[in-house]
Homo-oligomer: A and B are copies of this chain.
Amino acid sequence: METQTWIQISADSDFSYHNIPFGVFSTACNKEDARPATRVGDFIIDLREAERQGLLNGELFSKLSHKVFQGKTLNSFMELTRPHWQEVRRTIQSLLHVGSALDTNKELQSKVVIPYTDKIILHLPAQIGDYTDFYSSYTHAYNVGVMFRGKDNAIQPNWLHIPIGYHGRASTVVVSGTDIHRPRGQAKPPTAEKPIFTECKRLDYELEVAAFVGGPANKMGEPVKVDSAEDRVFGFVLMNDWSARDHQAWEYVPLGPFNGKNFGTTISPWIVTLDALEMFRVDLEPQNPEPLPYLKEKRHTSWDINLEVYLHADGNTKADILTKSNYKYMYWNIAQQLTHHSVGGCILNAGDLLASGTISGPQKHEFGSMLELSWQGTEKIALSEGKERTFIQDNDQIIMKGFAEKNGIRVGFGECAGKVLPALPENKYY
């Protein structure tokens, strides 16, 4: 990267000059004072302050009649259009150039630029209106299908025609670093006659990439066409769709996952934009059978983003890597998911979250859940320091990472991490 910036950015930072992701932070001295920001290397740029100081002075922003970075979330910014998002990214990049106002005016710099330390608290970047989870990785759908229905019926007839998805629970989407209690609920052990009330014995992660919707909402009844669907994507985060497999297995017929999923979903704090990711775009294989016309794109693509999942076992000194996958392992891409979501007339609002579904690659070390890695708990997953797992145990921590790299440019997501706390005592329930 040859651009000269006055902030030192190490070559292995996820938050390069090229990235400029969007998030929301506060500081330990005033936790409640959450405000929008970007991150560059080991610094935060406070966008509320930058806007107040008149630094976001591009052509489109100069024409706005209202400020957009003064709230506690990014929603006002996300409601604008792609050209607005692009302009802010370019404006911030120019502020990083040697000799810019932010470089030379040290008083200004002290107000707007904040070192990234452990005093920084990161928040959910948006108020999420609705959260949807898709199921669009072929290998994941195939693996789950083999386990539950056998090889011959692994892929359901509708899967190859529909980007299958379900409505998830927005109220428990939390930011990286939030602890999750092991849930209690109903499960029916294979040999039992009746269900039991039990703490989850098969607590799992699901490695996902989630898109934040942006742009003006479509009118109720009106679909978003597939070739313009990316204009409604503000950017991406990593997502851990925590899953209680035993609860889910007992409840999901016929209306889908409910308590097996709604106890918690963790996302990474920084939203990486499509502009930052454009250079990592890759073509996907043509789909067979051909999609129906409303899902047929001029070009069928995803992005080459390396995805990793680590498990830091309780008591261990370091984390072990369990999954190495990639966002290019999508059968249905985000444009098709978003268009399908809107085709009946469903309103998609800025701030809505659309998750990819578990992303598994074809090889075993690329499987995006412990359900697949341990093949329903039948195979132990070996960890370091003599430990092993089939599912997540109490006080284990799950850490997801994601990054794209090409021609010496790195664009990363940071971490999506969460620790599992023990279930609450039974007297909390009845």
Contact = CB atoms under 8 A, between A and B. Distances in A.
Most buried by B among A341, A347, A424: A347
A174 interface: yes
Interface in A242-274: 244, 247, 250-260, 262-264
Interface stretch (A24-32, A99-107, A165-173, A387-395): A165-173
Interface in A334-372: 340-341, 343-349, 352
A247 B340 CA distance: 12
Given A167-B167, A184-B344, A296-B430, A254 B255 contact: no
Contact of A164 (B196, B244, B255): B255
Contacts of A186: 158, 161-162, 292
Number of copies: 2
Give the dominant DSSP class at A's interface: loop
Contacts of A262: 167, 341, 344, 346
Given A253-B156, A346-B262, A166 B167 contact: yes
A63 interface: no
A346 B156 contact: no
A171 B348 contact: yes
Contacts of A424: 221-223, 345
Most buried by B among A167, A185, A293: A167
Given A174-B220, A428-B222, A346 B169 contact: yes
B164 A251 contact: yes
Nearest to A129: B171
Given A166-B167, A254-B156, A428-B223, A259 B129 contact: no
A185 B344 contact: yes
A295 to B, nearest CB: 8
A328 to B, nearest CB: 23
Given A181-B221, A194-B161, A259-B344, A166 B166 contact: yes
A311 interface: no
For the side of the interface on A, what is the size category?
35 or more
Contacts of A428: 222-223
Contacts of A220: 172, 174, 178, 181, 263-264
A171 B352 CA distance: 9
A292 B183 contact: no
Most buried by B among A172, A244, A255: A255
Nearest to A167: B167
Nearest to A200: B344
Contact of A166 (B162, B183, B256, B264): B256
Contacts of A352: 171
19 contacts: A156-B253, A158-B186, A158-B253, A162-B186, A164-B255, A164-B258, A166-B167, A167-B258, A169-B346, A183-B343, A186-B292, A196-B292, A247-B344, A252-B254, A252-B255, A259-B346, A262-B346, A263-B344, A293-B429
9 smallest beta-carbon distances between A and B, as pairs: A256-B256, A181-B221, A183-B344, A263-B344, A166-B255, A167-B167, A259-B344, A262-B346, A171-B347
Interface of A: 129-130, 135, 156-158, 161-162, 164-172, 174, 178, 180-181, 183-186, 188, 194-197, 217, 220-223, 225-226, 244, 247, 250-260, 262-264, 289, 292-294, 296, 340-341, 343-349, 352, 421, 424, 428-430
